[in-house]
Structure 1
């Protein structure tokens, strides 16, 4: 049985934590222990987020006085793929002696005319206070529950360039880490663009292409919530794609998770699940989280 598991960047860096490497390495140790338990029984492809990490590196790069300009987002996505992929591979290797683990720098083709380039919605980096936000120029900022946050374009993924390599590695018995941060966004000619692709949509695309039996999207809430923030909240335990409208959920947050899960279930006839990282085994088993079936 083949499973794709998508974990958020907040699995490594939780809200309120300092972005120290030691903190993230400690967090990833717990994540890889649970992922390794799955890898004993299933062929496993792991997709990870990078929102906190890529935002931090972008801020550092923009403020570096020795640079003429900050590093472009596509380059920073590649940088975080290497960093987080290394941490995940290192942790999985400790729990799975004798099992090959491969972390790939992954490119994802997007359309240069995607309307998302004109409407930034993808949050990256830390939360800023009102005072800090006023000092930031040249960025698009959005006010959220915990403060202001930078938002960047998030075009739709069309193709995963390294798909043949990923497939061969899985067929050969490797645990694969790919599509990190949604992949490095490139155009058809492989030139990079200033954007961050949503990792949940890329996970759904990969799950479809590698013929996965299950797509699991992990977050920090136990269920998809109907009416979130309205005072009439209701956990959704099971649903079909026809019963869920991604537009009913927050852009850059739950919306791409619902959209990716529904797309996979609808296009393949196989189930998808959305649930809490802390309940990974139960989400895979179908006893926790939201299950979406065609």
Structure 2
């Protein structure tokens, strides 16, 4: 094994957890995560010391649906608790599979999944205008019931019915940061900030859970900056960033500056629900002291770190 021991934060997208809509069981998810872990193990063998973050959107949706089906017998589950549940379960699958994959290669490493809380500002304007849809579609009568009895914000979704929408505030602090630092310094590989972290606020000396969803890539960017890690990798479904994506003029970008990335954002080159948040997280990471962001697919991870694949963004 090479010995550069360089820290890197890897944000793994939801496509790494559920590859097909017909394969959503926990066994299916574990198999997908195991494949993800083989790519991570490749860079561990090259001497990198990764901190892994992951999405949890589909998993939260599944738990919400289970809660909806059980409403006649059991109370609803707050969104912060759902985030904690999915962080724990998905983190366990990552920790188990990564430890197994590394052991098969003769690499013995301790791996720990940390249920992580992300602090948001209670005055964040996102709380005044919720936009993130979660849960199942409802008819108007059910939506009105949740609006009046549970205080939900519900909106009609393109004629398909009504859905609950929640705020997506900006993360400003990682509660468990010092614990994560201590584990890393002890040689432990850490899985943290799953799903962007559990949204909490600090008010009157107390930490309180909030009904919100935090962008996973923004939270990962914050974690990487807070750990003073120089390299931040965002793994997604495509091998690199493209201009004019899915058009006849589609063009891949191998390198760009943070300034160029900002220009492309302003020109609306990237989809608001897909690549744009990743570019925003990349720019924020670089502005706050990061050295390099790589956006690529998992199978290109090792090559991208060597500059042979993916899109590299620097200042």
**Residue 228 (structure 1) shift:** 3.0
Query: Matched residues in 2 for 1:195 and 1:6: separation?
Result: 20
**Residue 285 (structure 1) shift:** 1.9
**Residue 209 (structure 1) shift:** 1.2
Among candidates 123, 133, 136, match of residue 113 of structure 1: 123
TM-score (norm 1): 0.89
Query: Structure 2 stretches of 5 or more lacking a match?
Result: 1-5, 147-153
Structure 1 counterpart of 2:249 = 232
Equivalenced residue count is 288
The structure number with the bigger radius of gyration is 2
Kindly report which structure 2 residues correspond to 1:107-146, keeping only aligned pairs within 5 A, or say none.
107-122=117-132, 124=134, 134=139, 137=143, 139-140=154-155, 142=157
Structure 1 counterpart of 2:272 = 251
Query: Matched residues in 2 for 1:90 and 1:38: separation?
Result: 18
Q: 8 Å contact 1:142–1:150 — kept in the other structure? A: no
Whether 1:277 aligns to 2:298 is yes
Query: Matched residues in 2 for 1:172 and 1:141: separation?
Result: 50
Structure 2 counterpart of 1:49 = 55
Kindly report which structure 2 residues correspond to 1:178-189, keeping only aligned pairs within 5 A, or say none.
178-188=192-202, 189=206
Query: Matched residues in 2 for 1:123 and 1:254: separation?
Result: 18
Structure 2 counterpart of 1:101 = 111
Query: Matched residues in 1 for 2:133 and 2:237: separation?
Result: 16
Q: Deviations over 1:148-187 (max 9, x none)?
A: 9865321100000000000111111110000001000000
Q: Which moved more, 1:21-30 or 1:248-257?
A: 248-257
**Residue 35 (structure 1) shift:** 1.1
Q: 8 Å contact 2:34–2:101 — kept in the other structure? A: no
**Residue 88 (structure 1) shift:** 0.3
Q: 8 Å contact 2:168–2:215 — kept in the other structure? A: yes
TM-score (norm 2): 0.83
Q: Deviations over 1:193-219 (max 9, x none)?
A: 111111101111111111112100001
**Residue 93 (structure 1) shift:** 1.0
Q: 8 Å contact 1:106–1:183 — kept in the other structure? A: yes
Q: Deviations over 1:4-26 (max 9, x none)?
A: 00001221112423321111011
RMSD: 2.5
Q: Deviations over 1:248-294 (max 9, x none)?
A: 23233212210111111232250101111222212222211111011
SS of the equivalent of 1:25 reads helix
Q: 8 Å contact 1:62–1:69 — kept in the other structure? A: no
Distance 1:29 1:191, change over 3 A: same
Q: 8 Å contact 1:45–1:177 — kept in the other structure? A: yes
Q: 8 Å contact 2:230–2:290 — kept in the other structure? A: no
Among candidates 26, 29, 42, match of residue 31 of structure 2: 26
Query: Matched residues in 2 for 1:86 and 1:8: separation?
Result: 17
**Residue 227 (structure 1) shift:** 2.6
Query: Matched residues in 2 for 1:141 and 1:2: separation?
Result: 44
Q: 8 Å contact 1:77–1:183 — kept in the other structure? A: yes
